[in-house]
């Protein structure tokens, strides 16, 4: 294999990591608070706001139900407005982030739902404010579940980012399509797949490690 080819593969790998990292971090920063909000505004919860809860829930469901490939194309004007282009890694990161936010939010809400209600009751009996309950009880107690959610999200983002390659997003998916598929180069195809598999394994192992470390149950 030529050194140019190796360079190409290396660049594509870094592009994929970049897209996953940017969309992963932003979706976590937005998705975790959204997930908490979805949970605490439920009826009979500490900040029960049934109407707000229904609206947020509906928006989240809409975000979750649009197929990624369609979302990507549909928001091109928005992407262009935000990053000035509709192709490239930055442009791909926009739909990836938007798709991942509701995904993270629902998973975080699920993780919070696993916390026994007695813990919140105990905190209330100590005179905790809702904000204290969120920061000192709910989020720390759900830490393991939140790490699991972020791991699942990172893995999903790896495969979505490969899809982004189909519309010129760059990265391993792009490389696989252009060199492996369009130019019938099975070696490139295989290498791309192997790197993706290794990447997913890596994220999963890191996630498992963080979950183990935070779990004292």
Residue from the set 46, 137, 149, 172 that interacts with another protein by CB under 8 A: 137
Q: Is 10 in the site for another protein (CB under 8 A)?
A: no
Structure tokens at 136: 């000192």
Q: Among residues 90, 34, 76, which one has the least CA distance to residue 59?
A: 34
182: how many CB neighbours lie within 10 A of its CB?
9
By CB under 8 A, is residue 128 in contact with another protein? yes
Q: Of 92, 93, 91, whose CA–CA distance to 81 is shortest?
A: 91
Asked if 128 and 136 count as a contact pair (C-beta separation under 8 A), the reply is: yes
Among 65, 125, 184, 186, binds another protein (CB under 8 A): 125
> Which positions from 22 to 51 touch another protein by CB under 8 A, shown as an x/- string?
---------------------x--------
> Can residue 217 be called a binding residue for another protein (CB under 8 A)?
yes
| Window contacting another protein (CB under 8 A); options: 104-112, 125-133, 170-178, 179-187 | 125-133
Residues in Cβ contact with 115 at an 8 Å cutoff, skipping those fewer than 6 apart: 137, 138, 141, 142
Single out the residue of 176, 145, 153 nearest to residue 12, CA to CA.
176
143-182 mask for another protein (x: CB under 8 A)?
A: x---------------------------------------
User: Which CB atom, from 110 or from 130, has the smaller least distance to another protein?
Assistant: 130
Candidate segments 13-21, 85-93, 131-139, 157-165, binder of another protein by CB under 8 A: 131-139
Say whether residue 123 binds another protein (CB under 8 A).
Answer: yes
Cα-Cα-Cα-Cα torsion 116, 122, 128, 130, nearest 10 degrees, comes to 30
Sign of CA dihedral 11, 22, 151, 163: negative
Q: Which residues bind another protein (CB under 8 A)?
A: 43, 116, 118-119, 121-129, 132, 136-137, 140-141, 143, 214, 216-217
């Amino acid at each position: 294999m030529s050194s140019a080819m190796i360079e190409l593969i290396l660049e594509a790998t870094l592009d994929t990591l970049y897209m996953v990292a940017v969309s992963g971090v932003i979706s976590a920063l937005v998705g975790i608070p959204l997930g908490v909000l979805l949970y605490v505004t439920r009826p009979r919860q500490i900040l029960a706001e049934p109407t707000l809860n229904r609206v947020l829930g509906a928006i989240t469901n809409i975000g979750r139900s649009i197929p990624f490939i369609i979302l990507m194309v549909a928001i091109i004007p928005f992407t262009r407005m935000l990053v000035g282009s509709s192709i490239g890694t930055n442009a791909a990161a926009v739909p990836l982030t938007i798709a991942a936010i509701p995904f993270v939010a629902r998973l975080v809400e699920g993780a919070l739902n696993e916390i026994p209600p007695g813990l919140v009751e105990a905190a209330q009996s100590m005179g905790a404010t809702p904000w204290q309950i969120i920061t000192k009880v709910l989020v720390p107690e759900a830490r393991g579940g939140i790490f699991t959610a972020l791991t699942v999200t990172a893995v999903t983002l790896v495969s979505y980012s490969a899809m982004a390659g189909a519309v010129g997003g760059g990265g391993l998916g792009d490389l696989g399509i252009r060199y492996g598929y369009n130019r019938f180069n099975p070696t490139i195809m295989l290498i791309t797949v192997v790197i993706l598999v290794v990447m997913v394994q890596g994220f999963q192992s890191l996630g498992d490690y963080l979950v183990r470390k935070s779990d004292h149950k």
